[in-house]
Amino acid sequence: MALNIFFIVIGIAGVLWGADRFTDGACGLARKWHVSELIIGLTIVAIGTSLPEFVVSFLSCLRGSGDMSIGNIIGSNTFNALVIVGASCMFTVIPIERGVLWRDLPFCVLLTAAFVIMACTGEVSRWNALILLVFFAVFITYNIYIGRRERQDADVVVEEKSSFLRLFGLILLGGGVLVGCGQLLVNSATEVARQVGISEKVIGITILAAGTSLPEFATSLMAARKGSNGLALGNVIGSNVFNIAAVLGLCNMVSPMQVVEEDLIDWIAVLGSVSVLWLVCITGRRLTKGEGCLLLLIYFAYLSYILFH
């Protein structure tokens, strides 16, 4: 157990270092392409930081542990919407762009609701998985279109001095360290949890989910600290869309998953978390420290229910 705790410390340090490089590369790439940090956050950064969820869920699916795969995505998306956004608000007030309010967040809520409805049937079929993958294709295609339009409409151009090679190098290096150290942290924390007798479902929804969300967590917090608010929020929304539409879509194409009745409260939580985030954004058109605290309190109430129910 002592060795696993040492690996946990190394994993945390590596995740923070990788997030710093990954964020610098992503922000520089946005300036180089003359598109908003929000678009980069919704696409490249979101997919990159969601790789741990994809790897863990896909391997769990191949091993026949569909329960852990679904629990991982439920816990990760809930953690993203409540904890990552809530913690980011502790660093800065996050203004909400019109596109986020009426395009990206509603799309995320609609996608989550569609998946909850599919789950209520007791099984997510390959046809359902295909629908989810179509959702993802539409989301990515539309954001690429928006990014191209932003380049054409840009009035003030801020030149990025770094080369494309250096920026992509920062993204690949930072992303690689994020994923590698994140996986080291997850594996070590999971092993410690098993040694003390925590169940697979609780591991999936808590430790595994929070652990695989560490890249999103570190990247969004680093972006918020540096004032890149669009990247901080776009990363969370894009990651939630990727987790459901792409990760679970691909997993269910390989092997359709059974959804047990006990998971209903978790599906309510994952849909409720993104819905609450949207409502909070609508009320003030910005996210403050007070609203961040509210999101964090909701998450810890849910976590308490899971652990002690």
Residue 38 amino acid letter: L
- What digits encode the pLDDT tens for the residues 203-218? 656 666 677 677 788 7
Q: Which parts of the chain register pLDDT below 50?
A: 155-158
Q: What is the DSSP string of the chain?
A: -HHHHHHHHHHHHHHHHHHHHHHHHHHHHHHHHT--HHHHIIIIIHHHHTHHHHHHHHHHHHTT-HHHHHHHHHHHHHHIIIIIHHHHTTTS-EEPPHHIIIIIHHHHHHHHHHHHHHHTTTEE-HHHHHHHHHHHHHHHHHHHHHHHHHHHH-SS-----S-HHHHHHHHHHHHHHHHHHHHHHHHHHHHHHHHTT--HHHIIIIIIHHHHTHHHHHHHHHHHHTT-HHHHHHHHHHHHHIIIIIIIHHHHHHSPEE--GGGHHHHHHHHHHHHHHHHHHHHHSEE-HHHHHHHHHHHHHHHHHHHH-
- Check residue 134 and give its pLDDT: 92
Query: Beta 257-258 vs 123-124: how paired, if at all?
Result: antiparallel
Query: What is the pTM (predicted TM-score) of this model?
Result: 0.80
- Check residue 156 and give its pLDDT: 44
Distance CA 163, CA 169 (A): 10
- What digits encode the pLDDT tens for the residues 98-121? 888 888 899 999 999 998 888 777
Q: Between helices 214-225 and 229-241, what is the axis angle to 10°?
A: 160
Residue 186 amino acid letter: V
- Check residue 120 and give its pLDDT: 77
- Check residue 65 and give its pLDDT: 61
Q: Supply the mean pLDDT for the chain.
A: 79
Q: Indicate the class that CATH gives domain 2-152+164-308.
A: mainly alpha
**194 contacts: CB under 8 Å, gap ≥ 6:** 203
**272 contacts: CB under 8 Å, gap ≥ 6:** none
Please state, in angstroms and as integers, the Cα–Cα distance from residue 208 to each residue in 94, 100, 211, 305, following that order: 28, 28, 5, 17
Report percent pLDDT > 70 for the chain: 80
- Check residue 47 and give its pLDDT: 75
Please state, in angstroms and as integers, the Cα–Cα distance from residue 220 to each residue in 130, 225, 272, following that order: 30, 8, 21
- What digits encode the pLDDT tens for the residues 267-303? 788 999 999 999 998 887 888 899 999 999 999 898 8
